[in-house]
Structure 1
Amino acid sequence: MAGRGIEWPTMGLTALVYGGWLALTYFHSDIPLVLLLPAAAWFMAWHMSLQHEVIHDHPTPFRWVNDFIGFWPLGLWLPYAIYRHSHRCHHQNDRLTDPIDDPESYYLTPAQAKRLRHRFVHFYRVIDTLAGRVVLGPLHGILVFLAGQAWRLMTGNRKLLGIWALHAAGIVPILFWVLVVCDMSLWSYLLVFVYPGFALALVRSFAEHRAAPATAHRTAIVENAPVLGLLFLYNNLHVVHHDKPGLPWYAIPAYYRRHRERLVAGNGGLVYDGYLDVADRFLFRPHDRLVHPAYPEEVTGYDSSDRQLGHVRRAVATVGE
């Protein structure tokens, strides 16, 4: 990263995100819930977008500064080090959507699907709709993640223990601020800030990728999303992010406009006209089939101890090894 300076728009965004969170938590009792809930969801989701940005070595040339910006666990449940590791694994573009190798895949192998009881297969189909992803996706993601982490810790992953110890140290000032300084109950914080924020962030990831034989056809574009585009730091134009992961968020729209014809042709025309288009197609209909099409139905025998079900659990299984 030699020669790259500080990206001041992202530094300003950092101040805005953390400042907004501090203000909303401090004045929560003075803000009507009908206003507090969407504002809290926005800033929590914005924080996740900011973390995603710093994971890709923004906004400074110094890793320790970037990690300091992204480290603070406003959402409580996900250690930054694990998010950084799993998301970088996701950027193995030739393995995108693969249920074994892509830590952010919601697809299953036939063997994994067969091990699920019928009711859980139905649940997975529900969370493959936009409505299901928003309403139940945070519960699914958090519980599966924590269960997988508990399993890894019980099997003696010492590096993971260190990650969680550091994460716990980061949670202490967050909870002190929320519970003591702001006099907010933990349940209020979880239900007004954490859960809605994660749910809103899942709108972005819902239609970002789709299984296809050609690697380049697996990454989507959501055009005409000025408001949610800003919230997601323009990763709605997701093909740009996978094409140029080092490009700062504020440079993505201009890059997309200059190269739109090539990018749309390159991703096979996987383009949505805003998030209303995504909702119109998938609000109550599955985004795709449950079982990944690259795996023939006769494939069986994956070791369940190493191939845990759930996108986050599979991702963090490699941490510390």
Structure 2
Amino acid sequence: METRMPPAARAGQRKGDFGRHAYRIDWPTLTLAYGIYFSFLLITFSYHYLPWWIVCPLGTIVVALHGSLQHEGTHGYPTRWPAVNSFIVGWPLWLWLPYLNYRSAHLQHHIDENLTDPSIDPESNYLTETQWSAMSPLHRLMRQAMRPLLGRMVFGPIYYAVMGLRDLSNALLRGHLAILRAWAWHLPAVALILYWVLVVCGIPLWAYILGFAYPGTALALVRSFAEHRAHTSVTGRTVICEAGPFWSWLFLYNNLHVVHHDEPGLAWYKRPARYRVRKPELTAQAEHYVMPGYRRLFERYSFAAKEPLLHPQSE
């Protein structure tokens, strides 16, 4: 069983290992992966046999849940071998995001002292004055539209897909091999998924995008909408969202995000118990950045921006 280490005992240990238990294969996570892929195959195969209003919501949930599984893969699950994990979790059911690029960016995001800094943190929702000034009017309009939660869900999937293609274009021009290697795995994987979807299951491309991939991505973006905030304290930048069973399961308990950043190696299914044990400590550590669930998030921020667009320290 893993133990909670005092700060002084962590000095020689990588941050990403905090909370990790000993395993070669983490069977709960591997079982989850099998369940997600089996569900995906079953739901897509049932496209012509069940009403769309059953198939598409189920497909949306599976695609979003798979995004949460990919997040666990970046942290060394379900096995101790990164290449094996990439093969298991890296299939792009939502089509747009190369897993290896995501893994690289996400691990950089876990340098907590850089959290929310838009010049360093690749997952920051903020911008610097320089970044804003360099944007075209259309790009600025899109970033403004994505500030409310519903805007993020509606425009976010296409925005991030376009940004991914921009990164690919830049990598081709500049010879960035790491990005190109990620796309070299991503494109054949997309082709295999689309072969199953379009040829075997007979789902039109537009139906898969609008009924599965796009809303699945939109649902996944709810989690990252409120994960972090700009704050003078490093530990006060990460949220605790006390969500109900549906959202907690969909996000594999990353709604308890301060637990994840404090112990990034902790398995997803151990987060609720860890939070219950450490709740007073973690609440104080997060500078009381606590939300009572995603319903409240929708009520307050569906049409209103939660944060300023420019990072406060860049103004």
Residue pair 2:248, 2:254 contacting (<8 A) in 1 also: yes
Of the three residues 241, 250, 257, the one matched with 1:238 is 257
**Aligned match of 1:66:** 85
Which runs of structure 2 are paired with 1:163-242 in the superposition (5 Å)?
Answer: 163-242=182-261
Pair 1:148 & 2:167 matched: yes
The separation in 1 between residues aligned to 2:223 and 2:188, in whole angstroms, is 29
1:7-36 per-position Cα deviation (integer Å, ceiling 9, x unaligned): 221121111100010011111112212122
Residues 1:99 and 2:118 are matched in the alignment: yes
**Offset of 1:117 from its aligned partner?**
5.1
**Greater shift after overlay, 199-208 or 64-73?**
64-73
Tell me the distance in 1 between the aligned counterparts of 2:194 and 2:233: 46
Q: Distance in 2 between matches of 1:107 and 1:282?
A: 16
Partner of 1:14: 33
Q: Does 1:40 align with 2:48?
A: no
2:266 is matched by which residue type in structure 1?
A: L
Matched position secondary structure for 1:29: coil
- Corresponding pairs, count: 296
- Given that 1:225 and 1:236 are in contact with CA atoms closer than 8 Å, whether structure 2 keeps it comes out as no
- Structure 2, unmatched stretches of 5+, are 1-19
Paired letter, 1:144: M
Whether 2:152 is the aligned partner of 1:133: answer yes
Identity of aligned residues (%): 43
1:113-124 matched pairs, under 5 angstroms: 113-116=132-135, 120-124=139-143
- Residue 158 of structure 1: how far off its partner (Å): 3.4
CA deviation after TM superposition for structure 1 residue 5, in Å: 4.0
> Does the residue aligned with 2:151 lie in a helix, a strand or coil?
helix
Contact 1:126 1:286 in 2 (8 A): no
Asked whether the 8 Å contact 2:171–2:180 carries over to 1, the reply is no
CA contact (8 A) 1:2 1:61 kept: no
Q: In the superposition, relative to structure 1, how do residues 3 and 121 fare at CA in structure 2: closer, same or farther (>3 Å)? A: closer
| 8 Å Cα contact 1:209/1:220 also seen in 2 | yes
**What CA deviation, in whole Å up to 9, does each residue of 1:135-187 have, x standing for no partner?**
11111111122112212212222343333222222223212111111111111
Question: CA RMSD, aligned part only?
Answer: 1.6
Task: Please list, as runs of the form range in 1=range in 2, the aligned pairs for 1:269-284 lying within 5 A after superposition.
Answer: 269-284=288-303
Measure the CA separation in 2 of the matches of 1:152 and 1:124: 23
TM-score norm. by structure 1 comes to: 0.88
Which structure 1 segments of 5+ residues have no match? 297-321
With 28-37 and 240-249 compared, the bigger mean Cα shift is at 28-37
